[in-house]
Structure 1
Amino acid sequence: MSISTVAKKLSTAAITTTVIVVGIGAVAQATVLTFDDIAPISYLDQIPNGYGGFNWNNFNYVNGSSPLVTLTGDDNGRVSGDYVAFNGFGNPALVSDSVFDFNSAYLSATWNNGLSVTVEGLKSGATLYSKTVVVDTTQPTLVNFDYFGVDELKFTSFGGVEPDYLVKTHGSGTQFALDNFTFNEKATSVPEPTLLPALLSIAALSGGSVLRRKQLKQS
């Protein structure tokens, strides 16, 4: 193998390693809220403020294994464990904190197939992001939001039609089920413009040292 080929491989490896190290810092703090580590309940209760470090407005959690919610989205929408969150009375619900990144969540409709759920990401009262998804009662839908640097989420649900197999449960409304809420505690950090060249320089120097040692062995 020629010296030039070795140099190219070393440079590529060094740069790749630097990029990986920088990238790790952006994802290391991801947290998943499953709603299974709140106080055990037989049916439903409010999500307490402070859970996951957030304030929860009009968000409850329900035991999806309860006979009272069999076949609904609260049952079928479970991703992990027995519990899911839902918006009380089908009204808008809020999650707020200091600045964070909202990565993803699983959403299901509790009663209405074809339910629309709009999720807004706000900072200081201004809407930075908005996405509307359509979900059903039969299974959870993973939604990747990638809302960076927000301090509040607003969930609003509307529409849809209750399927015949749920009419006999005597429940109805525009509630949605939420599970595996994934976020970063702080907004994703981006390396300063002056930092990346410095990292690349260090990587290049490291690669050069290895190359010089190889040349000495061959001489």
Structure 2
Amino acid sequence: MSISTVAKKLSTAALIGAVFVLRIGSVAQATVLTFDDIAPISYFVRIPNGYGGFNWDNFNYINGSNPKITRTGEDNGRVSGDYVAFNGFGNPALVSDSVFDFNSAYLSATWNNGLSVTVEGLNKGATLYSKTVVVNTTQPTLVNFDYFGIDELKFTSFGGVEPYYLRGAGTQFALDNFTFNEKATSVPEPTLLPALLSIAALSAGSVLRRKHQQNTKLKQS
């Protein structure tokens, strides 16, 4: 194998390695919205637009430690802190922004056990993804969505049966630890890429020098 062929293969490997490292870095920058860093409240209010960089339509956040909601999904569905989000009156709720990736979230039923929640990922009004999960009031369920390149999420809940121990029924669901990546984080940092490529080039050069030295020794022997 010629030195030029080796160099080409090393360069390709170096580029692939650099892209792989950058992709790992972007995944590590995922943001988790816990709803615990909005203004403290005793019961519930609307999630303000701008929280986490999103617009929130028909989403409230509620203090799950309030005695009024003991044993409901808003109490049992808490993953971090005291607060969770829920859809007002059990109606469809939307989260929108410029393009982003939706990774995962914890979902619970607020009142009805066996509640179905359909989560759609859209871009410019077109549905790119759709997943329906069934959740209960007793504990949160982690759902991995992996919706890439969307600008809107639509949550629609329906069905389920009121459990015997709750004096109320409804199609509200609880949402906690909303995890996403802004689209910008998947683009390589301009100052990081040259550094990685320089390291890769130095490594490739070192291998080529050793290869050349080995060939020289073989010729001299």
Q: Specify if TM > 0.5.
A: yes
1:153 paired residue number: 153
| Distance across 1 between alignment mates of 2:157 and 2:115 | 7
Q: Does the 8 Å contact 2:121/2:127 carry over to 1? A: yes
Shift of 1:155: 0.2
Alignment match of 2:182 (pick from 182, 185, 189) = 185
2:110 paired residue number: 110
2:3 paired residue number: none
Shift of 1:18: 2.8
What does the per-residue CA deviation read over 1:126-181, in whole Å, with 9 as the maximum and x for residues that have no partner?
11110000000011000011111111100000000011111xxx322000000000
Give 3-state SS (helix, strand or coil) of 2:26's partner: helix
1:21-100 matches, within 5 Å, as: 21-100=21-100
% identical equivalent positions: 84
Q: Does the 8 Å contact 2:85/2:175 carry over to 1? A: yes
| Distance across 1 between alignment mates of 2:125 and 2:197 | 39
| Distance across 2 between alignment mates of 1:62 and 1:171 | 17
TM-score by length of 1: 0.81
What residue identity is the alignment partner of 1:136? N
Give 3-state SS (helix, strand or coil) of 2:130's partner: strand
* Root-mean-square deviation (Å): 3.1
1:190-209 matches, within 5 Å, as: 203=200, 206-209=203-206
| Distance across 2 between alignment mates of 1:93 and 1:109 | 15
Q: Does the 8 Å contact 2:29/2:185 carry over to 1? A: no
TM-score by length of 2: 0.80
Gaps of 5+ in 1: 1-6
Gaps of 5+ in 2: 1-5
Give 3-state SS (helix, strand or coil) of 2:78's partner: coil
Give 3-state SS (helix, strand or coil) of 1:68's partner: helix
